[in-house]
Structure 1
Amino acid sequence: MTGTDVHKEAEDSGPGGYAAARLRLLTEGTRSGPPRRAALASLTDDWLTGLFDAAAAAAGGPRGISLVAVGGYGRGELSPRSDLDLLLLHEGGDPGAVAALADRLWYPVWDLGLALDHSVRTPAEARRTAADDLKAQLGLLDARHLAGDSALTAALRTAVLADWRNQAPRRLPELRELCAERAERQGELQYLLEPDLKEARGGLRDATALRAVAASWLADAPREGLADARRRLLDVRDALHLTTGRATDRLSLQEQDQVAAELGLLDADTLLRQVYESARVISYAGDVTWREVGRVLRARAVRPRLRAMLGGGRPAPERSPLAEGVVEQDGEVVLARTARPERDPVLPLRAAAAAAQAGLPLSLHAVRRMAATVRPLATPWPAEAREQLVTLLGSGRPTVEVWEALEAEGLVSGLLPDWERVRCRPQRNAVHVWTVDRHLIETAVRASAFTRRVSRPDLLLVAALLHDIGKGWPGDHSVAGEIIARDVAARIGFDRADTHVLATLVRHHLLLVETATRRDLEDPATVHSVARVVGTHSTLELLHALTEADALATGPAAWSTWRGSLVADLVRRVSAALAGDHPDEPEPGAPGAEHERLAVEAFRTGGPVLSLRPQTEPPARPEPDGEGGSGTAEPEPLGVELVVAVPDQPGVLPCVAGVLAVHRLTVRTAELRALELPAGVDEGSVLLLNWRVAAEYGSLPQAARLRADLVRALDGSLDVASRLAERDAAYPRRRGVVAPPPRVTVAPAASRHATVIEVRAQDAPGLLFRIGQALEDAKVRVRSAHVSTLGANAVDAFYVTGPAGAPLPPEEAATVARRLEDTLRART
């Protein structure tokens, strides 16, 4: 039967005909989705129009009255069990006649068992109700004329939209609060195993809220994909109504297979994945839209004052630099005017890391521009790309919002193709509260709090990101994950040893908790079996931190004090099994000819000598040349190798580190050692500092300028501390990442010749200067130093002695470490 036939049947047979035509429409296999919803709305329109006309004729044809569809019915979207939202609008005539007309409309609807949400109001009453009730106002924004006086309906629509736009500065914050409260109650649709398609965050209510924001003319949602996402959720709700026969919006577990079959989908997991993807689009559009609303409202609030101050002029928005090619503007991270994504493949990761560190969202325009123009990274990745990924993963809670922005525009799958298999993948396990991909990010967030516990925070964070990556493949996800982890680690530029550690962590990320809770820890065989797998203390501490982060990111039921104590006990036993002689301070190799020349020159001149040499990293394999062939990619810059030779004297480390910080140079690695002069040269010692540095943004300073400032710092005429304090005051701290506090420890028996003090802290401008100054104040001599910056984490080891050149007594070493930690915490 055609749509015309259905309408004819409804017209010929009255209410019974409408019911039969409705049933036929809902059971037609050829109709589904938007066509069926529109056809059902049209069929209902015709029936209600007939009821209205008959009722109006029986009442003598009153004027100034109309029947209006509002809410979802007003939008022409009727699901099988949707309410009919109706307003009988009148100009205030005979109340008895209006009531009689209403009865002739409502009772036939109730007689058919249809849910009805109805009201009878004058235009003035409707506007007053809308002013008092935000939900009523939202329903009226979709008002659609059905029958009666169309001019009356049009006048109401015009007035309601005008009211909404005039009241938007007050009402939109109310709407945002309403959405937030609903999300708090119902949770996030994109992660729930039994989601409410309408009320949960990212559901149909939020899609309606975005329509209301657009109607205010203050802001608009990103349109790409939004209509399709909303349509898919409506399709799922239609199928849910048909399979259950009830007006429900909750997609229960026992109904998911039937709903999937109704929609022609493979299985319930495919259904949930579509629901999650749709919810993710709507949630992201909501985040972007509400930020824009806030920005517009703030601008409106301050504009009159600014105009008065500037005599009517319009100030340009402030742009504060965050990283190379990345700036902050109006509370968002945007691209600098000089940024060229098509020439800078690291830019997406650099921008994302800067945004997460600053605790700011990535601009939608910036993300879309990068997604459209950035070229793929070379394989393996350049060192900067790997460092920026680690910085992003280690930024704590802000990482989630930034990662979602990258995912929304396909940048994550472009960087890590294996991510696509876990994206929006449900986990049918009551212990898990997240999808696989969100669980991986949550694990990285949790792991960021444990970076002070491990010597390789970069490996911990990347392992957190990859530990469940195998869940997109058949079989044991740990086994599949190990293979993927090896491939990903090599692609992003880890060497063979680090790749092996990452693969071990992914393959055995459940080892500690399963062994601790299922095996006898008193049995030496249990302990030795774990020790054989982990192999080293470093891997053990990484696995311990990953185990806890994984459990905490799973859900409240996955971790407890009891489980934590069992795992900690197992780790202590395995650590004892692995214990042996601690490695002594690494003996440096013989100095190269260039370093020896610099040391001799520094001793003879009595002042510092510098050497700057750019470092590059050639790509490991040819890159496509854009013409379908194979070309050779340009070498990737690693930074600059800076070698400084200075006659041995107090204060060298803080002076050099301070001068580098003043010139905005970021220290990636550093080595300090005392170098005895070769035979034939006067007896003496020179400190040789070998740095790998990079400019925060802009170009590198000239070596002559660095040397001049270093001379001034050594003789006391350049107050480095004051210069750094002035810069900090000029750039107040943002609300960014809340890093775990610094941790300073003494490594017992790590060296026979010196006391080893280990520092693990959030990297920041001037950090190494403050450490060096604190050690100088403690009157200890730095025999050698080994400094690494891994993402946003500084992992440093300082071999120190007392004035006589001997290791510090244990009590004094502990005091030095405690005072250094207090100094660093005071700056956190």
Structure 2
Amino acid sequence: MLPAGSLLDTPASSVPDAEWAAAARQALQQADARLHRRFDQGDRIERLLALRARAADHLIRLAWQRCMPAGQALSLFAVGGYGRGELFPHSDIDVLVLGETSAQHAAEAGLSRLFALLWDCGLPVSHAVRSLQQCRDAAADQTVLTALIEARPLVAAEGARRALRQTIDDGALWPPRAFFLAKLDELRTRHARFGDTADNLEPDLKDGPGGLRDLNTLGWMALRAFGVSELEALVGLGHLGADEAVALQRERGVLAGLRYGLHLVAGRPEERLRFDYQKTLAARLGFEDDVESLGVEKMMQGFYRAASVVRRISDRLLQRFEEQFDGEAVPEPLTVGFSLRRGYLAANDADWPRGDIGEVFALFSSWANNSQVRGLHSLTARALAEALPQLPDYQHAWPHTRQQFLSLLRQPRPVDTLSRMARLGVLGQWIPAFAQVSGRMQFDLFHVYTVDQHTMMVLRNMGEFSSSKAAERFSIAHEVWPRLRKPELLLLAGLFHDIAKGRGGDHSELGAVDAREFCQTLEMSLADTDLVAWLVEQHLRMSVTAQKQDISDPAVIHRFATLVASRERLDYLYLLTCADIAGTSPKLWNAWKDRLLADLYFATRRALREGLEPPLPAAERVIEAREYVRQLVREQGYDDATINRQFAVMPDEGFIRLRPEQLAWQAGALVPVRQGHTLVKVRPISPDDPALEVFVHSPDRDGLFAAIVMTLDRKGYGIHRARVLDGPSDTIFDTFEVNPADSFADGDPLRLEAALREALSGDLSRLRPSRRAIPRQLRHFRFAPRIEFRDEAGDAAGTRFSLVAPDRPGLLADVAHVLRNQRLRVHDARIATFGERAEDTFVITDEHDLPLDETARQQLQDAMLSCLDPDRNTGDTH
């Protein structure tokens, strides 16, 4: 790979080190350029890694000859990944200098010169200088032994090679079983650090679950236990199937190719597939966009599928290693055809499952009904993997096996069963459409899991609903679940709700077609089929209604109740919606969304109970709400005279828009407040959630909304919802629901109250939005903001101003600042954020409480776009 007979071969006395290093650097760059071209042309990644290691070998040997005196008693070995004979573009190069202490001291000057010269050449060399005894002592740490067991001689006599090998192979130094257990614990700890899933938005190709480190770990275990340097050699020993070896080799190529390309596009030793590089790498690897998927999504699906296969086979191989060390236990009969072997579920028949999907379902049934099973036996798991391609899908299976599948959903822990079926590839074989979304990601910040992993998270949430113990984060789900006529119908809706992602078109409608076909093929009743298909088609409707519409508006509730049409559908849809939102991202579900959906659920249930009659007139609704709130305020110890006096200064609209419990809290807080004074109250929304409710009552003045929003932003709080109501005598009654959005937001209600009181006590015009950097991830999802205006009718006359824009810290504060500068008044606000996308709606008027005319709309739009999209004037539309 490096040119021979050049300046590099010139004796040290003829050429200065600096000149030699420059020539070596140039030669190495030329060799890398050739390798990188071959990579872009699709050459085998294993060959490229080996050639790059050989180039480094040659250069290091030349540098050794140049710097080390002849006859010295030191040897040089490649260790670690470099010792395996593979080298990625920006990987470290680990070497060991081996020799007795006296030889080390004698060669100090030469070694210093050597390593300085190698760094000057562009080789990032990390080195250790040890004697044999020092190697033995250091290898008490299994990570050091791991680096040494792959030691490869670069400059070493046969005696030194043999001596190092004997030291490493000494059975008293990390016996194979102890080494296996140490590496197994290391692997599990590493997986836990990454959330034990490869299905995240920016996976680590090297250290993440299912990554290259997992394959290396298996190799180290095999080398220590069986003395084989390649996993393929385990086939002959009976520990690895030929098909498994082929699969591991194939996926190693996928992962190594991604890592090689990532190093190239990053220009440094980057191991995490960050958004900064994903699109560039996908383009370099030849992945193109089409109507169904972005090229980057195709690339990431390839990674997720490769990582899944690595994990699946790794689990089986680790179990076989464990059996090798601990021995095979006597089978314990469990159910017909199955037994327990050391706690693992095994098929008794050596030829199981004979292409019979019914036998596979029997396996999962036995698993579900025996809680002592710790997993699937490796030989049975291997037999299942080999049989998968021959197993029929639901359309071609016998009728009795279709009923077996449905019975699995009615047995104990059906969610665990579906998760196991998905992990082992059975679910994708049974429902081919599910296999299509396996590993499928969406290039955004909203969906942090692949579609199949998200589906499993949704089902897991449903499993929480069914638990006898109420889950704290779902306030009423455990009450709704027992009313389900057939819980398995909810599981089927969860299984199919996103199954049509990536096909183009509306995935809800396409998924409903799939769900209906599945239910009909399994000969489910027409009522059950209709319900599952309807749930899949409408699975987003409740979330959209709750987060984007005003559910205090009777017309909104009436429309939603008309769509739902029955209490049964409402129960199922409510649970599906909660499970779906909470399964989209660990950070997406909170007390605010829990309460919001519960409010919509109860309001809709009431509308259904009352027969979908036209909503009560506003005046009657106010009277009804006041009487309910009166009872709550009485419980605080106030008499009717005090309550009537308080109600007189509260806006009627609040009794329509706010929950009775909120109104009772506000009324009690306002009793001691003198007219013309400002009140700020903050309280937790839920004891187990950081969300806070903020209530501000004050004499009205322009810029008040902006001042509150900017203060909340400066204190690190994100606003989820805002109710901005005008009270009698030019007062305001503003309610905000907020969450800590930054690390410096401590969630202390009293401190937030004090900060707001101080901000509102002076000149509001002095307040400005804080300036903060846009997080790295958000920079990759920019798009042009979109603005719409619509006049509101009725009592809430004003202009509805809708904004869709890339989210970023301080966005709402900037929006409020623009509204203040345009001298506009905010009467209502709905704040929603979906990953990198903010969708906010405001009801605004001019200074005279009139809707905006065309001139005012245009001025607001221009000012808003200048604030939110400063590049638009440069022609950059992102």
State the partner residue of 1:22.
28
State the partner residue of 1:813.
none
Q: 1:129 and 1:399 mapped to 2: Cα distance?
A: 47
1:469 to 2:475 alignment:
no
Shift of 1:43: 1.1
State the partner residue of 2:539.
509
Contact 2:408 2:417 in 1 (8 A): no
Show the 5 A alignment for 1:306-321.
317-321=330-334
State the partner residue of 2:123.
114
State the partner residue of 2:463.
448
1:211 to 2:219 alignment:
yes
1:155 to 2:163 alignment:
yes
Show the 5 A alignment for 1:351-390.
351-357=363-369, 358=371, 359-373=373-387, 375-376=391-392, 378-379=396-397, 381-382=399-400, 383-390=402-409
Q: 2:595 and 2:121 mapped to 1: Cα distance?
A: 63
Counterpart secondary structure, 1:558: coil
Contact 1:182 1:200 in 2 (8 A): yes
In the alignment, residue 334 of structure 1 is paired with which amino acid?
A
Distance 1:491 1:124, change over 3 A: farther
In the alignment, residue 375 of structure 2 is paired with which amino acid?
P
1:103 to 2:112 alignment:
yes
In the alignment, residue 91 of structure 2 is paired with which amino acid?
S
Offset from partner CA, 1:105-160 (integer Å, 9 cap, x none): 212112124322101111221121011x2211111111101113233123312431
Q: 1:439 and 1:332 mapped to 2: Cα distance?
A: 27
Counterpart secondary structure, 2:300: helix
Residue in structure 1 matching 2:358, options 340, 346, 349: 346
Q: 1:145 and 1:375 mapped to 2: Cα distance?
A: 49
1:289 to 2:307 alignment:
no
Distance 1:517 1:262, change over 3 A: closer
Distance 1:49 1:249, change over 3 A: same
- Stretch of structure 1 that moved more, 384-393 or 561-570: 384-393
Distance 1:271 1:178, change over 3 A: same
Shift of 1:78: 0.7
Distance 1:7 1:368, change over 3 A: farther
Show the 5 A alignment for 1:692-707.
none
State the partner residue of 2:429.
414
In the alignment, residue 96 of structure 1 is paired with which amino acid?
H
Contact 1:192 1:434 in 2 (8 A): yes
Q: 2:497 and 2:136 mapped to 1: Cα distance?
A: 56
Distance 1:316 1:272, change over 3 A: closer
Q: 2:417 and 2:184 mapped to 1: Cα distance?
A: 21
Residue in structure 1 matching 2:450, options 420, 435, 442: 435
Q: 2:173 and 2:502 mapped to 1: Cα distance?
A: 47
Show the 5 A alignment for 1:572-587.
572-579=602-609
Counterpart secondary structure, 2:198: helix
Percent of aligned pairs sharing the same letter: 28
State the partner residue of 1:229.
251
Distance 1:165 1:7, change over 3 A: farther
State the partner residue of 2:287.
265
Offset from partner CA, 1:192-211 (integer Å, 9 cap, x none): 21122222222222221111
Distance 1:339 1:565, change over 3 A: farther
In the alignment, residue 465 of structure 2 is paired with which amino acid?
F
State the partner residue of 2:183.
175
Residue in structure 2 matching 1:329, options 341, 358, 383: 341
In the alignment, residue 26 of structure 2 is paired with which amino acid?
A
Offset from partner CA, 1:236-259 (integer Å, 9 cap, x none): 121112112112212210211111
State the partner residue of 1:275.
303
State the partner residue of 2:53.
41
Residue in structure 2 matching 1:486, options 494, 508, 516: 516
Counterpart secondary structure, 1:471: coil
Contact 1:197 1:250 in 2 (8 A): yes
Contact 2:139 2:173 in 1 (8 A): no
State the partner residue of 1:565.
595
Q: 1:476 and 1:576 mapped to 2: Cα distance?
A: 31
Contact 2:2 2:28 in 1 (8 A): no
- Stretch of structure 1 that moved more, 98-107 or 367-376: 367-376
Residue in structure 1 matching 2:559, options 523, 529, 536: 529
In the alignment, residue 363 of structure 2 is paired with which amino acid?
A
In the alignment, residue 568 of structure 2 is paired with which amino acid?
S
Q: State how many pairs are aligned.
A: 555
In the alignment, residue 364 of structure 1 is paired with which amino acid?
S
Counterpart secondary structure, 1:68: strand
Q: 2:430 and 2:570 mapped to 1: Cα distance?
A: 29
Identify unmatched segments of 5+ residues in structure 2.
Answer: 11-18, 227-233, 289-294, 467-480, 612-878
In the alignment, residue 78 of structure 2 is paired with which amino acid?
A
Contact 1:528 1:574 in 2 (8 A): yes
Contact 1:460 1:542 in 2 (8 A): yes
Contact 1:469 1:477 in 2 (8 A): yes
1:241 to 2:263 alignment:
yes
Counterpart secondary structure, 1:146: strand
In the alignment, residue 566 of structure 1 is paired with which amino acid?
L
Q: 2:410 and 2:385 mapped to 1: Cα distance?
A: 20
Higher relative contact order (CA 8 A, sep 6+): 1
Distance 1:370 1:169, change over 3 A: closer
Contact 2:455 2:498 in 1 (8 A): yes
State the partner residue of 1:61.
71
State the partner residue of 1:758.
none
Offset from partner CA, 1:57-95 (integer Å, 9 cap, x none): xx24224x2110001111111111111100011144433
Q: 1:436 and 1:6 mapped to 2: Cα distance?
A: 53
Superposed CA RMSD in Å reads 2.8
Residue in structure 1 matching 2:194, options 186, 189, 195: 186
Contact 1:11 1:17 in 2 (8 A): no
Q: 1:351 and 1:278 mapped to 2: Cα distance?
A: 26
Distance 1:252 1:522, change over 3 A: closer
Contact 2:76 2:156 in 1 (8 A): yes
Q: 1:96 and 1:116 mapped to 2: Cα distance?
A: 20
Contact 1:89 1:153 in 2 (8 A): no
State the partner residue of 2:414.
395
Identify unmatched segments of 5+ residues in structure 1.
Answer: 300-314, 582-828
Q: 1:392 and 1:212 mapped to 2: Cα distance?
A: 41
Counterpart secondary structure, 1:342: coil
State the partner residue of 1:675.
none
Q: 2:266 and 2:350 mapped to 1: Cα distance?
A: 57
Q: 2:195 and 2:350 mapped to 1: Cα distance?
A: 41
In the alignment, residue 24 of structure 1 is paired with which amino acid?
Q
Distance 1:227 1:7, change over 3 A: farther
Contact 2:205 2:212 in 1 (8 A): yes
In the alignment, residue 225 of structure 1 is paired with which amino acid?
A
Shift of 1:429: 3.4
Counterpart secondary structure, 2:376: coil
State the partner residue of 1:142.
150
Shift of 1:11: 4.7
Shift of 1:38: 1.2
Contact 2:53 2:86 in 1 (8 A): yes
Contact 2:25 2:122 in 1 (8 A): no
Shift of 1:6: 7.5
In the alignment, residue 185 of structure 1 is paired with which amino acid?
R
Q: 1:210 and 1:372 mapped to 2: Cα distance?
A: 21
Q: 2:117 and 2:350 mapped to 1: Cα distance?
A: 67
Shift of 1:478: 1.2
Q: 1:340 and 1:147 mapped to 2: Cα distance?
A: 53
